[in-house]
């Protein structure tokens, strides 16, 4: 019997959460207008499973599949859930702290900060490994990372989804840190 793939489990959970009623969704995303950090604990875990549109969901789930399946080559399958939650929670907390300190009221939802964390992890561990796009085109993780971070910075410069792109950079950085720690602990080559 084939073992359950945790990447597909995370994808299914994200898809199911898309159908949560709008009134409930408002309580599950990170909202910087909420002034009490202690009232936000649940949202630091739930925002990463909520997406605002079908395009947002599909785009993130394709990215999750590609990054997640590649990540499973290098880490144990149960650790990927831990990384997903760890990158997501830390990115969410950093987002919340930054924007409440700046006095900016905004919301954060979606799994892309986590996915950028996966990208950061893979870039540190295997920078020259190629990721294949549509099974035809390939690009090295390091090059792909540079392009993706550059896109985030350009979008931020034009004030397009500044908060979301900041969360991407937080996630990427956390992924780099996690990879450096695990590479050192497990003496990965």
Can you read off the two tokens belonging to residue 84? 């997903």
Average pLDDT of the chain? 88
Task: List, for residues 16-63, the tens digit of each pLDDT value.
Answer: 999 999 999 989 999 888 767 777 889 999 999 999 999 999 999 999
Alpha-carbon distance of 161 to 167, in angstroms, equals 10
Question: What is the mean pLDDT of the segment spanning 107-112?
Answer: 92
Task: List, for residues 110-161, the tens digit of each pLDDT value.
Answer: 999 999 999 999 999 999 998 877 778 888 999 999 999 999 999 988 888 8
Give CA torsion, residues 15, 19, 22, 28, to 10 deg. Answer: -40
């Amino acid at each position: 019997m084939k073992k359950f793939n945790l990447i597909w489990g995370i994808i299914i959970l994200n898809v199911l959460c898309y159908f949560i009623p709008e009134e409930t969704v408002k309580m599950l995303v990170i909202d910087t207008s909420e002034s009490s950090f202690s009232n936000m604990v649940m949202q630091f875990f739930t925002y990463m499973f909520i997406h605002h549109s079908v395009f947002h969901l599909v785009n993130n789930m394709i990215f999750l599949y590609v990054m997640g399946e590649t990540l499973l080559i290098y880490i144990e399958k149960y650790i990927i859930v831990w990384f997903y939650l760890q990158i997501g929670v830390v990115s969410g907390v950093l987002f919340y702290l930054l924007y409440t300190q700046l006095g900016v009221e905004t919301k954060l939802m979606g799994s892309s900060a986590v996915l950028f964390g996966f990208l950061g992890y893979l870039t540190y561990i295997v920078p020259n490994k190629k990721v294949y796009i549509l099974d035809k085109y390939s690009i090295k993780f390091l090059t792909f990372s540079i392009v993706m971070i550059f896109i985030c910075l350009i979008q931020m410069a034009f004030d397009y989804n500044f908060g979301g792109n900041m969360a991407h950079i937080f996630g990427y950085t956390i992924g780099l840190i996690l990879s450096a720690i695990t590479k050192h602990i497990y003496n990965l080559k």
